């Protein structure tokens, strides 16, 4: 198997701003391997370390110890990000640009030749159904449209690995379905997708493998069916693995 994304004993500590407070440990020796062509779901409760892991993979945060690589290149090298697409959770784009200009700007950063960039811009705008609004300033877009621009920018370089941080957060059911369709389409094209989500039903539908982390530690990793085991749903398995104890009603 061709491993595209790897973390080894990844540990991230954030120093406390308060005097004599011990540092907050966000990740405790995380080991992950993601193979080419798989859709990988990254699950965990809020504050478990999902976004920190993504931030390390994208070079936003330096690990305290351990290592992370994309396509075998250390994530601290900007070139490691040449073949990836990234959609952050709830992001705003330059409001004074049109969708077309924004995508042209990003395609320049990927050093795409002009003709190829124009083809890619047409293709991704068609994919996210923003062709009719391509010349409108982004400040006039609705929230769903902004999320779709985000998806378009993540796909502009035809990435081999797509990293999505809660891609359906804040979207209506139609928008969610659209994102799911796009992920499945990318999977059929042989792309690798790594995404964090709280939507367990969605993860169950589209993912080949999932990892569950809690309190910065990897609790489980494997195929969706293996993780679920005899349990009725992924949600039940998730709650068991993170150690959720239901409180009895008074």
Partner 1 sequence: MNNIFAVAGVVIKELYRRKDFYVLFILTVVICLVMASVNIYNDNEIIRYIKALCLLLIWISSLVIAITTTARQIPVEREQRTLLPLLAKPLSRPQLIFGKFLGCWLACGLVLVCFYAFFGALVASREHAWPLLNYFQVAFLHWMTLGVVIALTLLGSLVFAAPSSNSTICFVIVSAILCVGRYLDVMALSRQEPVRSLVYCIYYAIPHLEIPFEMRNLIVHDWPLIGWNFVALDALYLLAYAAAFLIAACLVFRRKAVN
Contacts by residues 112-121 (CB-CB < 8 Å, ≥ 24 positions apart): 112/156, 112/157, 117/156, 120/156, 120/157, 120/158, 121/156
Contact (Cβ atoms closer than 8 angstroms) between residue 241 and residue 231: no
8: which strand partners? 67
The contact mask relative to partner 1 for 156-185 (x = CB under 8 A, - = no) is -x-----x----------------------
Residue 43 makes contact with partner 1 by CB under 8 A? no
Member of 8, 45, 105, 215 binding partner 1 (CB under 8 A): 105
> From the CB of 161, what's the least distance to partner 1, in Å?
11
Residues 221-250 that bind partner 1 (CB under 8 A): none
Contact (Cβ atoms closer than 8 angstroms) between residue 102 and residue 145: no
Question: Smaller CB distance to partner 1: residue 153 or 238?
Answer: 153
Question: Smaller CB distance to partner 1: residue 165 or 199?
Answer: 165
Residue 90 makes contact with partner 1 by CB under 8 A? yes
Question: Smaller CB distance to partner 1: residue 195 or 238?
Answer: 195
Tokens 């804040």 found at? 170
Closest CA to 201 of 220, 228, 240, 161: 228
- As a whole number of angstroms, the distance between CA 205 and CA 57 comes to 25
> From the CB of 154, what's the least distance to partner 1, in Å?
7
Member of 8, 33, 101, 118 binding partner 1 (CB under 8 A): 101
Residue 78 makes contact with partner 1 by CB under 8 A? yes
- Beta-strand ranges (E) seen in the chain are 3-14, 24-35, 39-43, 65-70, 73-74, 84-87, 161-165, 192-196, 209-214, 217-223
Residues 116-155 that bind partner 1 (CB under 8 A): 150, 153-154
Query: Where along the sequence are the contacts to partner 1 (CB under 8 A)?
Result: 51-52, 55, 58-62, 78-79, 81-82, 84, 86-88, 90-94, 96-97, 101, 105-106, 108-111, 150, 153-154, 157, 163
């Amino acid at each position: 198997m061709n491993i595209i994304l790897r973390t080894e004993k990844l540990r991230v500590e954030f120093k406390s701003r308060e005097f004599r407070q011990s540092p907050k440990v966000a990740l405790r020796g995380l080991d992950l391997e993601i193979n080419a062509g798989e859709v990988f779901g990254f699950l965990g409760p809020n504050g478990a370390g999902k976004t920190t892991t993504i931030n390390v993979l994208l070079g936003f945060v330096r690990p305290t110890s351990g290592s992370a690589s994309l396509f075998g290149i250390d994530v601290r090298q900007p070139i490691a990000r040449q073949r990836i697409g990234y959609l952050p959770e709830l992001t705003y784009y330059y409001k004074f640009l049109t969708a077309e200009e924004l995508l042209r700007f990003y395609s320049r950063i990927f050093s795409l030749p002009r003709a190829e960039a124009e083809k890619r811009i047409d293709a991704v705008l068609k994919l996210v159904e923003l062709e009719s609004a391509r010349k409108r300033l982004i400040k006039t877009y609705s929230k769903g449209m902004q999320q779709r621009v985000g998806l378009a920018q993540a796909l502009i370089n035809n990435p081999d690995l797509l990293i999505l941080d809660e891609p359906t957060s804040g979207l209506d059911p139609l928008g969610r379905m659209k994102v799911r369709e796009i992920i499945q389409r990318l999977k059929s094209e042989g792309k690798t997708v790594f995404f964090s989500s709280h939507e367990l039903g969605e993860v169950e539908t589209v993912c080949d493998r999932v990892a569950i982390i809690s309190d910065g530690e990897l609790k489980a990793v494997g195929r969706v069916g293996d993780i679920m085991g005899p349990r009725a749903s992924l949600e039940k398995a998730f709650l068991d693995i993170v150690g959720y104890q239901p409180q009895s009603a008074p």
